[in-house]
Every structure is written in structure tokens, then in C-alpha cells.
Structure 1
Amino acid sequence: MAARTSARRRVRNQRVSGSAGMYVYGNAVPKPAYEPQRRTAEPERRQHVSRQVKQNRKKAMGINKAYVVFLSVAAILMLVVCVQYVQLRAELTNRSKNITALQEELANLNEANTTKYNAVMDSVNLEEVREKAMDDLGMVYANENQVVEYDNPDGDYIKQYEQIPDEGVVASSAKTNE
């Protein structure tokens, strides 16, 4: 018992003197010269394991052929799904780029069309057309008795194949009279 007490005092003294009077330079701390003893509540007891339990554990840890085939099929299936996904994403990206290019082309064509339309509209002077029609071609405005208003049953347009009657009704049907 005395030997135990003196060994404990030495360890305690080493701890106190080693840590209190020592200064560590740098970032490496030296390992202590002793290893503390760990106390356990109960010593470990080895339990007897039967031969059947050992065989069952060995079988559970082993991989049989059916499991290997299943894992191989699952891995190949996942590989196929991943490749298909990557191909679909690439196709989607290409289509998006194509749509963007077509939208830019449409915007450019609309802008060019608007520019040309405005240029044509600016180049036509309606006053000049009226003067040329009246002076050079002898055209005159219509009188009130020359204008005939008529009802268009379809509401769209009309093709004139003969004279419009004086009463102004071009065609009539049972539906338009209702």
C-alpha cells in the first residue's frame, strides 16, 4: 500500500511540476511522459458465443451471388438513368439556346420591318398624291348623291359583281332580318 501511495505522489508531482513550470514555444505541445490509467467499473467479461451464432454472423457478413447480381443490376440501371438525365439536360440546353437565337432573330426582323414601314410611310406624301390625282388625272371628290351606303350582312367585306341597288341592301337572309 505504501508503494501505491508513493507512486501516486510521484505522478501528481510530475503533473504539477511539469505543467506549472513549463512554457511551450511554438505550436507543438510535447506529449506527457506518463499515461494516465483508466479506471473501469467492471472488467470486461468475454461471453461464450456458440458455434451456431458464429456461423450466422459469418453468413450475414458474407455476400452471396444473388446479392451481387442485384447490386450489379441496380448499379447498371442507375448508370443508364444518369446518362439519360445528362442527355436530356444537354438537349434542353441546346433547345434553349436555339429558342434564344430564334427570339433574337425575330426581334431583329421586327425591328427591320418597323424601320422599313416607317420609311415607306414617311416617303409617301398624301398631299402630293391628292394634288397629282386632282390636277394631272382630273379626279374630283364625290358628291352626296353619288355615295350609296349599304348594309353588309356578313360584316366583313363584299365583292361587287354588279351594281349596288339604290335601296342599299345588297343581300338579305332570314338570319339578318331577325
Structure 2
Amino acid sequence: MAEKRSNQSAMHRRETERYYIDGNTARRLNEQPQIPKRTKKNIQEQPKQAPVRHKKRVSAFDLKYTLFLVVSVGITLGTCFMYLHSNSALSDAKQNVTALQTQLQTLQEQNTSLKGSLNTSIDLDQIYQIATGELGMVYADESQIIYYNSSNDDYVRQYESIPDKQ
């Protein structure tokens, strides 16, 4: 009986060393594949044509795969260069717009200052004196003013003669 127990405990120990139970699956621990020993007989029995066919198939696959990778990398690089080019063009356009805005602001300031200097140099009283005194100009009478309706209120272009007073 003692011998039976020692056999059972030894078997149990071997089983616990070989199996690990995780959930409902059992795996073998530290199991290594059995590699057949190489002998001259084994080496001579192996077919030599299978690796050659495999090499041909692999080399054809490698060529297609390599071409695919080259084309993919080329497309990616082309896209990157196009992005960088458009980004630099956009940056140049922004700088150009900024320079033109600065130039516009400078010209508007010059225009405002010249307009102010012209307005201060014109004396309207002197113009009235010259027009009425020297040139004999007078204000128009009510009988000389002709009113008419225009279709456009913003400005008037006269292509025809002004209609007579009715």
C-alpha cells in the first residue's frame, strides 16, 4: 500500500510539473519540441527540389512586394513634397498680403494728410469774393432751377438734353 501511495505521489508530482491548469484549458509547461537527430541517412533522404521551388516563389513575391513598397514610398514622398511646397507658397502669400496691407495703410495715411493740407489751403471766402466780384457770378434764381426725377438716386449721367420746364 505504501508503495502504491509513493507511485501515486510521484505520478502526481510529474503531472503537476508538466501541466498547468488555467480555467478550462491545460497547457504543458517547459515542453520543448523533439528535434530528430541528424544522420547521414536523414540528410540524404531530404528532397532537394522543394527549397528551390520555394526560393523561386519567394523571390517572385519579393520582387512584387519590393515594387509595391517602392511605389508606396514614392507616393508618400511625393505627397510630402507637394504639402511642403503648398505650405511654403501659402506662407509666401501671407507675407505678401501683410506687405501689401502695410503699403495700403501708409498710402491711406499720406492721402489723409494731403487731403487735410489741401482743405486748409483753400479759402472758400476768397473764392466767393473772386467769383462774385471779379467774374460777375451770381446765385441762380428759382426760375432758372429745373427739377426732374431720376431713376437712379446715386448719380446722374446726362446723355440727353435736360427737359424744358413744363
TM-score interval, smaller chain: 0.5 to 0.7
* 1:166 equivalenced with 2:165 (yes/no): yes
The normalised TM-score by structure 1 is 0.55
* Paired position in structure 2 for 1:9: none
Query: 2: distance between equivalents of 1:45 and 1:103?
Result: 78
User: Once the 2 structures are TM-superposed, how far is the Cα of residue 93 of structure 1 from its aligned partner?
Assistant: 0.9
* 1:113 equivalenced with 2:99 (yes/no): no
Q: CA RMSD in A?
A: 3.4
1:55-66 correspondence to structure 2 within 5 Å:
64-66=62-64
Query: 2: distance between equivalents of 1:132 and 1:67?
Result: 95
For this pair of structures, how many residues does the alignment match? 122
* Paired position in structure 2 for 1:44: 30
Structure number with greater CO (CA < 8 Å, separation at least 6) is 1
Unaligned runs of 5+ in 2: 1-16, 19-28, 37-50
User: Once the 2 structures are TM-superposed, how far is the Cα of residue 158 of structure 1 from its aligned partner?
Assistant: 4.6
Q: Identity over the aligned pairs, expressed in percent?
A: 26
Query: 2: distance between equivalents of 1:80 and 1:149?
Result: 71
Give the stretch that moved more between structures: 63-72 or 79-88: 63-72
The normalised TM-score by structure 2 is 0.59
User: Once the 2 structures are TM-superposed, how far is the Cα of residue 77 of structure 1 from its aligned partner?
Assistant: 1.5
Is the contact between residue 148 and residue 166 of structure 1 (CA under 8 Å) also seen in structure 2?
yes
Go from structure 1 to structure 2 and tell me whether the alpha carbon gap of 1:68 and 1:157 turns closer, same or farther (over 3 Å shift): same
User: Once the 2 structures are TM-superposed, how far is the Cα of residue 47 of structure 1 from its aligned partner?
Assistant: 3.0
Structure richer in helix, relative to its length: 2
Kindly provide the CA deviation profile for residues 53-101 of structure 1, in whole angstroms up to 9, marking residues without a partner as x: xx9xx99xx9722212211211122111111111111111111111111
Structure richer in strand, relative to its length: 2
Go from structure 1 to structure 2 and tell me whether the alpha carbon gap of 1:48 and 1:128 turns closer, same or farther (over 3 Å shift): farther
Query: 1: distance between equivalents of 2:81 and 2:104?
Result: 34
User: Once the 2 structures are TM-superposed, how far is the Cα of residue 110 of structure 1 from its aligned partner?
Assistant: 1.5
* 1:86 equivalenced with 2:72 (yes/no): no
Letter in 1 for 2:87: R
Go from structure 1 to structure 2 and tell me whether the alpha carbon gap of 1:164 and 1:99 turns closer, same or farther (over 3 Å shift): same
Go from structure 1 to structure 2 and tell me whether the alpha carbon gap of 1:98 and 1:70 turns closer, same or farther (over 3 Å shift): same
| SS class of match (2:69) | helix
Query: 1: distance between equivalents of 2:162 and 2:67?
Result: 90
Unaligned runs of 5+ in 1: 1-40, 168-178
Query: 2: distance between equivalents of 1:77 and 1:66?
Result: 16
